[in-house]
Amino acid sequence: MASILTTAEELHDALIARRYDDGGPVRLLDVRWRLDRPDGRPDHRSGHIPGAQYVALDEDLADHHAPASEGRHPLPSVEKLQAAARRWGISRGDTVVVYDDAKNTASARAWWLLRFAGFADVRLLDGALRAWTDAGYDFEKGDAETPAPGTVDLSYGALPSLALDEVAAFAEDGLLLDARAAERYRGETEPIDPRAGHIPGAVSAPTIDNVGEDGRFRSPDELRTRFRMLGAEDGVSVGVYCGSGVTAAHQAVALSLAGFEPRVFPGSWSQWSNHPELPVATGPDPR
């Protein structure tokens, strides 16, 4: 697997050279998105890393024509993702760097989705936009210049994943991590989805604990220790879900840094909770 993270300094040097020494030409994606402010275009136009193309998570990285039973952010068709990637100027052999302004909790979706679609070299700007700001580098305002269309070909299945009908059995035999906030896992609150609680057998593992106050990921050793304490023993398969498949990707980044090969459940709690025939657990314990 290619590098997962890049520093602001490494990205700055690569933008000057127009490529990474250990990769290819740089394609930079700004994936600013939040539940309370899903349209990140105004923030992008007010200042972004030079050359970054804006990526609309709701439009480019999800399919919103699916029924509610598919979840809030079902995967886009591979044809839709490929068309978007070509619009961003991506061709095979490029190095794609993604970032947001929320500790990479949104941009990790682009990282996982592109790698799931077979694109080898996708990296997260460690520390997200704050790292670029703290380094004192310049910003660009307005819309980035439209790049020449890329030629990348994508195909899903390059990373392991979980379908809805596989999740219950996986939770019995493997370690299924719930990346949402602990109060949502316990079922004390549910602001979005139709039922509160968690998938029976899942273990609470809030994704925000994977990073420090500066938004940078903890060291691989620290992450490995964290996940082992949650039950990620040798030989145990690890899966992850969140609310709608966005921050589950952030957890997948942390697991990958720690040396695991996680299986992401893209439909996540939003899909599970929309199926009334499926059981729900509440409280602090997995079952």
Active site residues: 242
Which distant-in-sequence residues (6+ apart) come within 8 Å of 160 by Cβ? Answer: 261, 262, 263, 264
CA 87 to chain centre: 20
- State how far Cα 139 lies from the chain centre: 24
The conformation of residue 209, written as its DSSP 8-state character, comes to: G
Q: Give the DSSP letter string of 210-264.
A: GB-TTSPBPPHHHHHHHHHHTT--TT--EEEE-SSSSHHHHHHHHHHHTT---EE
Residues 6+ apart with CB under 8 A from 235: none
The strands making up 263-264's β-sheet, listed across from edge to edge, are: 203-204, 175-178, 238-241, 263-264
Measure the CA–CA gap between 75 and 8, rounded to whole angstroms. 29
What pairs with residue 82 in β-bridges?
A: none
Q: What does the DSSP assignment read for 74-128?
A: PPPPHHHHHHHHHHTT--TT-EEEEE-SSTTTTHHHHHHHHHHTT---EEEETTH
Q: Encoding tokens for residue 30?
A: 């700004």
Dihedral-angle region of residue 165 (phi above 0 means left; psi in -120 to 50 means alpha; beta otherwise): alpha
Burial label for 191, CB within 10 Å (0-12, 13-18, 19+), is: exposed
Number of CB atoms found within 10 A of residue 287's CB: 10
